[in-house]
Each structure stands twice: as C-alpha cells, then as structure tokens.
Amino acid sequence: MSLKGLEKKLQYEFNNKELLELALVHKSSNNSSNNERLEFLGDAVIDIIVSRELMRDFPEGDEGLLTQRRAALVQKPYLASIGHL
C-alpha cells in the first residue's frame, strides 16, 4: 500500500511524509535508516490508547485484570491481524 493509500484509509493526512515513511520501515529491511526510537514511541502510544479504552470498558477492573487484557491486546500477532483491516 502506498503512503497516499494509507492516508486515505486512515482519513488523515500526515504533515511529515519522510517521518511517516521512516516509521513504517522495519529494522529487518535493507534500509539503513534506524527507526527504533519511533518504534519505542509508537509502543508507548499504543499502550496509552489501549489502557484508556480498557479503563472505559472495565471501570471496576483491578490493575491485574487491566494489565492482563492490555498484554493480550498489544501482542504482535494481534496487532498485525488488525493492522490489515
């Protein structure tokens, strides 16, 4: 999928296309760019969004339940499966 296609699917236009492209390059590719800092930031963003939604969905849930559910939701296979929607 092209960057324009991604923007269309997300219904959002990114200001910095170079940063977007860097964020989408996996470190295992032959690209010499290093995006591990962006990956670190992206992981934190996903955690906060998932945590917020779990707090909304389970207002009486204790920390153990919320942590367990968040861990299940942020696993690579699950995120990869919903990333192809």
Q: What is the pLDDT of residue 31?
A: 63
In tens, the pLDDT along 23-55 reads 777 666 666 666 788 888 888 888 999 999 999
In tens, the pLDDT along 68-77 reads 999 999 888 8
| Amino acid in position 56 | R
Q: Which two tokens stand for residue 55?
A: 């707090």
Q: Let me know: does 41 contact 59? Beta carbons within 8 Å.
A: no
| Amino acid in position 68 | Q
Q: What is the pLDDT of residue 84?
A: 63
